[in-house]
C-alpha cells in the first residue's frame, strides 16, 4: 500500500467510528506486560462516542476487569480480511457501573451475556480511550484483490492499492 495518511481529530474519530462499525469484533488485550496471549479475548465494540472512546460491555467480576484494575493499558486488534480492513488501537481502559451509561449503550444483543438485562448486578461497561491508532485499508473486495495479486505475481508489478495511516484522536 502506498497511500499513507494522518487522520486528525474529527476526521480521525470518523475513521475510527467507521472501522469499528464495519469490523465490530476485536481482540481485546489486557495485562500487556506479561501477556502470553492468554489475556486476549474477542470482544464486540458497542459504540464509538464523539470523543473517540470505544465502549464495551463486560462482567464486573471478570478476569479482564481485574486485569484492567491492575493496569489500564490495553490493545485492540480489529481485522476484517474479507474487506481488507485492519486497525490496531492502543488505549487506556476504565470500568464503570454507571446505570445511565449502561442504559445509553444497551442493545438487545447484550442480553445474550446478561440474562437479567440492564439491571444485572454483574454488568459493567469498559471505556477505552485511544492513545494511538493505526489503520490499513485495501481497495476493493477479496476477490478483486486476489485477481490483482495474481496479476502482480505474473507481471512483477504491484496492482494492489489501498491506504494506511495513523489516526489522531
- The per-residue pLDDT for range 103-143, each reduced to its tens digit, is 999 999 999 999 899 999 999 999 999 999 998 877 554 54
Taking the domain 3-167, which CATH number applies?
Answer: 2.30.110.10
Q: What is the DSSP string of 33-97?
A: TT-SSTTEEEEE--EE-TT--EEEEEETTSHHHHHHHH--EEEEEEEETTTTEEEEEEEEEEEE-
For residue 139, give the DSSP letter: S
pLDDT at 34: 81
pTM of the model: 0.82
Q: Which three cell numbers stand for residue 30?
A: 489486557
- Domains of the chain by residue range: 3-167
User: Which position has the higher pLDDT, 34 or 80?
Assistant: 80
Amino acid at each position: 500500500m502506498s497511500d499513507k495518511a494522518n487522520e486528525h481529530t474529527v476526521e480521525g474519530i470518523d475513521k475510527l467510528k467507521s472501522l469499528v462499525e464495519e469490523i465490530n469484533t476485536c481482540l481485546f488485550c489486557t495485562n500487556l506486560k506479561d501477556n502470553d496471549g492468554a489475556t486476549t479475548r474477542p470482544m464486540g465494540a458497542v459504540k464509538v462516542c464523539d470523543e473517540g472512546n470505544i465502549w464495551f460491555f463486560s462482567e464486573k467480576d471478570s478476569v479482564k476487569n481485574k486485569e484492567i484494575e491492575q493496569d489500564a493499558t490495553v490493545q485492540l486488534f480489529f481485522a476484517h480480511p474479507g474487506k481488507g480492513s485492519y486497525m490496531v488501537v492502543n488505549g487506556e481502559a476504565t470500568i464503570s457501573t454507571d446505570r445511565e451509561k449502561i442504559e445509553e449503550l444497551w442493545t438487545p444483543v447484550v442480553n445474550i451475556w446478561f440474562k437479567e438485562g440492564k439491571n444485572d448486578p454483574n454488568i459493567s461497561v469498559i471505556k477505552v480511550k485511544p492513545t494511538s491508532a493505526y489503520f490499513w485499508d485495501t481497495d476493493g473486495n477479496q476477490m478483486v484483490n486476489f485477481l490483482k495479486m495474481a496479476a502482480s505475481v505474473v507481471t512483477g508489478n504491484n496492482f494492489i492499492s489501498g491506504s494506511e495511516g495513523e489516526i489522531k484522536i
